[in-house]
Structure 1
Amino acid sequence: MTRVFLCQPDHYKHVLSFFIDNTAGFKVAGACHKSVELEAQVHLTQPNLVLLDIALGNGIDMLVQMRKHAPTARVIVLTETEDPAVVLQCLALGAAGYLLVRKTTLPRLIDFIRDACEGGVPISPALVKHIVKALPPGGGPVVLSSTLTRRETEILQLMVNGQTYKAISFSLNIALDTVRSHIRNIYDKLEVHSKSEAVVKALRERVVTSY
Structure 2
Amino acid sequence: MTGSGPSAADPAGAPVTAPVTVLVADDDAVTRSGLRTLLSVQPGIAVIGEAADGVEAVEVARRLRPDVVLMDVRMPRRNGIEATRQLLAGSAGAAGSAAPPKVVVITTFENDDYVTAALGAGASGFVLKRLPVRQIAEAVRVVAAGEAILFPAALGRMVTARPLRGAEALPKAALTVREEEVLRLMATGLSNPEIAQSLAVSLETVKTHVGNVLTKLGAQNRTHAVVIAYESGLVVPGFAG
Alpha-carbon distance between aligned partners in 2 of 1:54 and 1:178, rounded to the nearest angstrom: 36
- Once the two structures are superposed, residues 91-119 of structure 1 have per-residue CA deviations (whole angstroms, 9 ceiling, x without a partner) of 232211233323x3322222322332233
**Correspondence for 1:6 among 12, 24, 37:** 24
Corresponding pairs, count: 204
Is 2:220 aligned against 1:194?
yes
Shift of 1:147: 4.6
Shift of 1:174: 4.9
> TM-score, length-normalised on structure 1?
0.77
**2:50 maps to what in 1?**
31
For the 8 Å contact 1:39–1:65, the answer to whether it is kept is: yes
1:131-150 alignment runs, 5 A limit: 131-136=159-164, 147-149=175-177
Shift of 1:166: 5.1
For the 8 Å contact 2:32–2:50, the answer to whether it is kept is: yes
Q: Compare the two structures and name the one with the higher helix fraction.
A: 1
Alpha-carbon distance between aligned partners in 2 of 1:166 and 1:118, rounded to the nearest angstrom: 16
CA-atom RMSD, angstroms?
A: 3.2
**Correspondence for 2:83 among 53, 57, 62:** 62
Gapped runs of 5+ residues in structure 2?
A: 1-18, 93-98
Alpha-carbon distance between aligned partners in 2 of 1:208 and 1:201, rounded to the nearest angstrom: 9
Change in CA separation of 1:48 and 1:147 when aligned onto 2, cut-off 3 Å: closer
> TM-score, length-normalised on structure 2?
0.69
Alpha-carbon distance between aligned partners in 2 of 1:127 and 1:181, rounded to the nearest angstrom: 25
- Once the two structures are superposed, residues 51-77 of structure 1 have per-residue CA deviations (whole angstroms, 9 ceiling, x without a partner) of 011212221322233234625210111
- Give the secondary structure class of the aligned counterpart of 1:66: helix
Which one has a bigger Cα radius of gyration?
2
Shift of 1:157: 3.0
2:102 maps to amino acid: R
- Give the secondary structure class of the aligned counterpart of 1:198: helix
Provide the identity percentage: 25
For the 8 Å contact 2:166–2:232, the answer to whether it is kept is: no
Shift of 1:163: 4.7
Change in CA separation of 1:86 and 1:37 when aligned onto 2, cut-off 3 Å: closer
Shift of 1:2: 0.8
- Once the two structures are superposed, residues 128-162 of structure 1 have per-residue CA deviations (whole angstroms, 9 ceiling, x without a partner) of 223224334998x9xx9x9543x534432343344
**Correspondence for 2:68 among 49, 52, 61:** 49
More divergent stretch after superposition (200-209 vs 153-162): 153-162
